């Protein structure tokens, strides 16, 4: 869906409406509003300020959704969630003052790229832990995807935009499975007629399949259960591979036959058995 067209409030106008902040530049504009980077001198911190324009604020449904998002995020405190410091309305503009994350979104950093499996799993694991916290407080995200995850300078994910406070937590679990598969393969799911991307690691493939199972009862019961599986994968190190790029053929090093004492009859040397890889688990 294309962004809703509306005039973007100018920096000088916002400076008049929000004298406690020093607006620096526009970060992003989308369907749910416009986000600016600003400085809050009184507390010596950078913030992100999300503003819903009058054109959208007059829509009761969008207005209620924006206010619900602000309240939901303000009630949460977790290292993998964006903090909300304040919210309200000024001159007909609904606003939300949030924690500022200086790095790019996961979409900008990883879209179309297959990243290292351990890094992909760590990101998905952190997202799971963040969502487990929101689910424990009765809040569903409802729109987990790469664009809704920000990465701070330490590459730690931060979940943003809680656009839904109702629904099933299984929808968030499904979304994590889709996101993890996309990080592992670099392929975006959902293209009409396209097959589900194949994850080469068999255990990770099984985790993705369980998270996105058509039967809701067959999915992980909650985000913590999915996080536990991802932690187990990380703890075991290298896992079995279903399909990998061609590798150089393994060559057995040549050995020098041992000298046999003259008094001992020579016996035929049995042919060495070829090395067999362990079967997938």
The number of residues in the chain equals: 281
Q: Which helix (H) or strand (E) holds 157?
A: strand 157-159
Q: Has 143 been annotated as catalytic? A: yes
Q: Are 147 and 106 in contact (CB under 8 A)?
A: yes
Q: Which helix (H) or strand (E) holds 37?
A: strand 33-40
SS3 for 27?
A: strand
Instruction: Please report, for residues 31, 110, 136, the alpha-carbon distance to residue 151 in angstroms, rounded to integers and kept in the order given.
Output: 21, 11, 23
The count of C-alpha atoms lying within 13 angstroms of the C-alpha of 87, restricted to the half-sphere facing its C-beta, is 20
Set 86, 143, 209, 228: catalytic member = 143
Q: Are 168 and 153 in contact (CB under 8 A)?
A: no
Cα–Cα distance, 182 to 110 (Å, whole number): 9
Cα–Cα distance, 214 to 209 (Å, whole number): 9
Strand 22-30 with 84-90, pairing: unpaired
Q: Which residues are catalytic?
A: 143
């Amino acid at each position: 869906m294309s962004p809703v067209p509306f005039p973007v409030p100018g920096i000088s106008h916002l400076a008049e409406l929000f004298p406690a902040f020093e607006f620096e530049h526009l970060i992003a504009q989308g369907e749910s509003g416009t986000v600016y980077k600003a400085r809050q001198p009184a507390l010596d911190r950078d913030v992100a300020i999300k503003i819903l324009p009058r054109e959208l604020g007059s829509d009761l449904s969008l207005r209620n959704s924006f206010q619900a998002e602000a309240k939901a995020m303000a009630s949460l405190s977790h290292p993998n969630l964006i903090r909300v410091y304040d919210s309200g309305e000024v001159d007909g503009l609904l606003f939300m003052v949030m924690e500022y994350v200086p790095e790019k979104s996961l979409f900008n950093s990883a879209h179309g790229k297959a990243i290292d499996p351990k890094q992909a799993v760590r990101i998905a694991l952190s997202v799971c832990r963040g969502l487990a916290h929101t689910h424990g407080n009765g809040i569903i995200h409802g729109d987990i995807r790469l664009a809704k995850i920000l990465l701070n300078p330490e590459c730690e994910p931060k979940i943003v935009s809680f656009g839904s406070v109702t629904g099933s937590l299984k929808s968030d679990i499904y979304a994590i499975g889709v996101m993890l598969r996309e990080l592992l393969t670099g392929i975006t799911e959902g293209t009409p007629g396209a097959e589900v991307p194949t994850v080469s690691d068999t255990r990770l493939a099984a985790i993705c399949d369980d998270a996105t199972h058509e039967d809701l009862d067959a999915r992980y019961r909650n985000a913590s259960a999915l996080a536990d599986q991802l932690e187990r994968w990380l703890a075991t190190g290298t896992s079995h591979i279903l399909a990998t790029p061609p590798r150089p053929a393994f060559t057995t090093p040549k050995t020098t036959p041992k000298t046999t004492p003259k008094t001992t009859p020579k016996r035929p040397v049995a042919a060495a058995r070829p090395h067999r890889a362990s079967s997938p688990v």
